[in-house]
Amino acid sequence: MELLISDGHLLSWLIFIPLIGAGLLMVVPGEENQRRVALVVTVFNAILSFKLWNNFDATTANLQFGEKMAWIPTLNINYTLGVDGISILLIMLTTLVMPLCVLGSWTYIGKRIREFFVCLLVMEMAMIGVFAAMDFVLFYIFWELMLIPMYLLIAIWGGDQKKYASIKFFLYTLAGSVLMLAAIIALWLQNNYSFYIPDMMGQPYSSLFQTLVFLAFFLAFAIKVPMFPVHTWLPAAHVQAPAAGSVILASVLLKMGTYGFLRFCLPITPEATLMLAPYILWLAVAGVLYGGFTALAQSDMKKLIAYSSVGHMGFVVLGIFVLNQTGLEGSLIQMVNHGVTTGALFLMIGMIYERSHSREMKDHSGMAYTHPIFVTFFTIFAMSSLGFPATNSFIGEFLILAGAFADNKIVAGVSIIGAVLAAAYMLRLLQYVLFKGEGRSDLSDLNFREIVTLTPFFVFVFWIGLAPEPFMNVMHTSVAYLLQQVDAAQAGQAVANLVVH
Amino acid sequence: MQLFLPELFLLGGSLVLFFVSLGEDKGKLAKNMTVLIGAVLCVLCAMGINQDGTLFYDAYKIDFFSQFFKLVIAAGLTLVTLATGDMKGINGKIKAEYYLFMVISTLGLVMMVSSVELLSLFIALELSSFSLYLMVPMRDEETGERQQMEAGIKYIMFGIISTGAMLFGMSYLFGLTGSTYFSDLVPAMQGMFHNPIALLAIMLFMVGFFYKLAIFPFHFWVPDVYQGAANGTTAFIASVPKIGAVAILLRIATLANPQHADWLITMLMVVAACSMLYGNLSALVQTDIKRMLGFSGIAHAGFVLLGVLTLDELGFARSTYYILGYVLMNLACFLVICKVSVNGENVNRDDLRGLYKRSPFLALVLLVGMFAMAGIPPFVGFMGKFMLLAGALQADHLPLVIIGVVNTAIAIFYYLSVVRVAFAEAPGDRPDVDTDATTWCVGLVLMACIVYLGIAPNQLLDYASQAMRMIM
């Protein structure tokens, strides 16, 4: 995995434009202007990110758009950035979701507009930074930095139980990642004082060391995903966060956990991965089933979607730890799908909440009779969420299940139940919202801004659902290379066993 | 003469302050003079940063080590006086005397970092300590509720006991080597470090500074003094003397021979681990912010020891970096405390309710200060912790590193609960907090330093390393 240095500093621009925008927001007067500035900055960043997409070379697993600068020489910490087929989709997802978050909170946020958008922009910077950082310390800094704006988003603009939710979110995530810091330092010592992430891959660490490092990483990422049984912060945070906060949480933040598995656990500690994968698969299945059953029992729509996230992310983890090309690619595309679909659903619930100040299903029954535009979008996203053919999630879940059947038929068989549950809770939600009861004529239907906000999600639902090739193409090489790294460890283990016998 | 210029200037300054204090109600004037003295002292120290030489029969050494610490102590004095505003909570009649003692205490610290002989070191330390002992009970009756008396007595009693232990250690050092000069002590002690008496001597010697730095088990004065002293006094005690204490602690650590220092390292590890755990666990249940910061200070002192116990230049430099960062974030918190407190009374966590509505700027300063203390990037607290942990793991102290990271997780809870009341709670009927221009400037400077040192620690580390080379 080489770092191909490029001169344009495109990644740095993507990371720091939001920060510059945040600085600009500090001095812009007037709430309307502040909204516009935030929108312009995020849209500009999104457009700029297409330059990344267009110039990305999908035929190589090397890190592209690389940048490297000495930062803290005494510790050999560098400012290193790079993208490969695994991270590019997530960076694109981030840059594209952010303008929609700004649009989605246009009227939703009524107080402290300036601070809200500053938080949002700092958030964007940290998220892109996490996906682009190739130096461990840089990665960790972005990873932790994210907690501050996210905490404020929930704590200031959140719902009634914001105190509880925000502190729980912060404590869980921070407690999970402190051991990761120790693991990072341990890896640094083992690798000749290098914090460069690819340097740490494919090294002959002892089994014990690998297991310990794997577990330290796993705890941090499992909390972020979140996997059963450390998921309990998620429903609280999702329900209390403002709509844009929920969208960021669902679309991007949760992906950092699974991204961490792909970027660190698999290539750095392959032996431990192989050893522990069977257990993690069952944990993932437990998450799928648990999320499904709990979602079935919710009457709060936001909570329902939050628990469905636990189930969907369980599928993603499942796809990663079956450790074959189909499963991994399914996971990656499903990460994007979940970002699109769940992000859209959270935005829509935010739109209802803005009108009725309720998230209860029973307060919004029978909307099919009164709100045709809303219901059309809602149905499409709900169908996408349950993995209906021709929508994006179908592709992802299909690939993950195909990969799972190739690896472990029992696990795959049990996880099918999760897919059925997804259909059950989503259809139950739809049935309530669409047809049960009279409908409410006191609430207005979606306005033009909201339709514009939802349209990109709509486009991606069908684009990925019907023609996933452009999205799949970028990842083939990198995923194959990742699997090679894991297989190399397996082969090494086999040789070692032969020698012993 | 030129070598001694900062000290002479401080001496002159305190004389002038003494004459000022003879008048009635000269608190305002004394405060402005102290700021001026601090600022000029900063300039003098910065100008003399590369000076080199010895004074007073080689008992007093001016080199980059001493000048570096003098500069940061001077900067600390200036920032504290600016950050604490008009020192509410100090009896107005003796406010001028109060500033006089503050300057004298600083003079003691400035002399302490230059002393390379045990007796002059001791005198400098006592000069600084006795002024501090006097500053604690100078709080006025209404806001102190007589707790300041208890605090003053505790501070002086514990101080004298640990000074006694330190003198006992010094007597051993003299008995073992026949000299009181560091230049003789270092080679002599290094040579006989396998001798248990040598270890005992150094451990006892360190006690005096463990007390200053509030390291377990010499921390007993901390909660009561932090709570009982006026807000401004606590801000001073919690910052400037700690810089001096770390400087001397590092100087003492150079007496140890790393090859035979297993026992010393074990001892330091135990007190570091106990400090972190004790400080953080006790801080969890505090509601008085100053008391909480006191316990958190014990935990931070434990972290500083992580660098000391590596017994190498890099570790020492990282400890220095950490304590300077700690002073900055501590002052950021105290800036908020001093402003929120209306008449100088203690600040409870509930008094910070809805601060982000009552004063958005102070809330931001508090946020930066608290998150920096908690060790969240990109602030200086994170970089300091990270480097200390890296150094400790490099020296193979895995259990200590695990305790350190677990402590980071524990500590976040109480820092966060302060941020929570400031940001997530409604203010109720609490009044808005006014912020004047000085507060803005000091707050901005502190935040800028906390962030800048966090993302670009290199330069300060280089300076600290360069200073450490002078004593190694």
Q: Which of A137, A145, A162 is the closest to B424 by Cβ? A: A162
Residue of B nearest to A168 (CA): B413
pLDDT digits (tens, 9 = 90+) for A9-64: 888 999 999 999 999 988 888 888 888 898 999 999 999 998 888 888 888 888 88
Angle between helical axes of A87-104 and A31-54 (0-180°, round to 10): 160
> Residue A67 forms beta bridges with which residues?
A81
Sheet containing strand A77-83, strands side by side: A3-5, A63-72, A77-83
Which residue matches tokens 């004529």?
A441
pLDDT digits (tens, 9 = 90+) for A73-119: 888 888 999 998 889 999 999 999 999 988 888 888 878 888 889 99
Cβ within 8 Å, pair B416-A74: no
B401 CB neighbours in chain A (<8 A) are 182, 185
Check if A73 contacts B (Cβ < 8 Å): yes
Residue A168: which domain range?
3-500
Q: Which amino acid is at B448?
A: A
Cβ within 8 Å, pair B406-A178: yes
The answer to whether the beta carbons of residues A332 and A483 sit under 8 Å apart is: no
Provide the sign of the torsion angle of the four alpha carbons B322, B325, B329, B331, taken in this order.
Answer: positive
Distance between CA atoms of residues A399 and A334, nearest Å: 9
Check if A166 contacts B (Cβ < 8 Å): yes
Strands (E), B57-140: 60-62
How many other C-beta atoms can be found within 10 angstroms of the C-beta atom of residue B459? Answer: 10
Q: Please name which of A47, A25, A28 lies closest in space to residue A122, comparing C-alpha atoms.
A: A25
Distance between CA atoms of residues B106 and B241, nearest Å: 8
Helix then strand then coil, in percent of chain A rounded to 5, is: 75, 5, 20
Q: Which of A73, A75, A158 is the closest to B390 by Cβ? A: A75
Name the DSSP letter for residue B178.
Answer: S
Number of H helices, E strands in chain A: 20, 3
Distance between CA atoms of residues A274 and A485, nearest Å: 12
Strands (E), B166-248: none
Check if A466 contacts B (Cβ < 8 Å): no
A155 CB neighbours in chain B (<8 A) are 419-420, 423-424
The domain total for chain A is 1
The domain total for chain B is 1
> Residue A80 forms beta bridges with which residues?
A68
Q: Which of A74, A163, A185 is the closest to B458 by Cβ? A: A74
Compute the nearest-CA separation of A109 from chain B (Å): 16
For chain B, the C-alpha Rg in angstroms (whole number) is: 21
Cβ within 8 Å, pair A175-B412: yes
Distance between CA atoms of residues B303 and B251, nearest Å: 18
A75 CB neighbours in chain B (<8 A) are 387, 390
Check if A425 contacts B (Cβ < 8 Å): no
Check if A416 contacts B (Cβ < 8 Å): no
The answer to whether the beta carbons of residues A277 and A153 sit under 8 Å apart is: no
Element (H, E) at B47: helix B27-47
Check if A178 contacts B (Cβ < 8 Å): yes
How many other C-beta atoms can be found within 10 angstroms of the C-beta atom of residue A334? Answer: 29
The answer to whether the beta carbons of residues A85 and A335 sit under 8 Å apart is: no
Residue B84: which domain range?
5-471
Degrees, nearest 5: CA angle A299-A305-A306? 100
Distance between CA atoms of residues A266 and A484, nearest Å: 10
Element (H, E) at A122: helix A113-132
Compute the nearest-CA separation of A61 from chain B (Å): 31
Cβ within 8 Å of residue B452, ≥6 positions away: none
Angle between helical axes of B64-83 and B27-47 (0-180°, round to 10): 150
A181 CB neighbours in chain B (<8 A) are 386, 389, 405, 408
Q: Which of B378, B401, B419 is the closest to A141 by Cβ? A: B378
Q: Which of B376, B378, B393 is the closest to A186 by Cβ? A: B393
B371 CB neighbours in chain A (<8 A) are 148
Residue of B nearest to A177 (CA): B409
Q: Which amino acid is at A244?
A: A
Distance between CA atoms of residues A55 and A365, nearest Å: 48
Residues of B with CB under 8 A from a CB of A: 314, 356, 360, 367, 371, 376-378, 382, 386-387, 389-390, 393-394, 401-402, 405-406, 408-409, 412-413, 416-417, 419-420, 423-425, 457-458, 461-462, 465
Check if A74 contacts B (Cβ < 8 Å): yes
The answer to whether the beta carbons of residues B148 and B230 sit under 8 Å apart is: yes
Check if A182 contacts B (Cβ < 8 Å): yes
From first to last of its 472 residues, chain B has per-residue pLDDT tens of 677 888 888 889 889 888 888 877 777 888 888 888 889 888 888 888 887 888 888 888 888 888 899 999 999 999 998 888 777 888 778 888 888 899 999 999 999 998 888 999 999 999 999 999 988 888 887 777 778 888 888 899 999 999 999 999 999 989 888 888 888 888 888 888 888 888 888 889 888 889 988 898 888 889 889 988 888 889 999 999 999 999 999 988 888 878 888 888 888 999 999 999 999 999 988 888 999 999 999 999 999 999 888 888 888 999 999 999 999 999 999 999 888 888 888 888 888 888 888 888 889 999 999 999 988 888 998 999 999 998 888 888 888 988 998 898 888 889 988 888 888 888 888 888 888 888 889 999 999 999 999 888 888 888 888 888 888 7
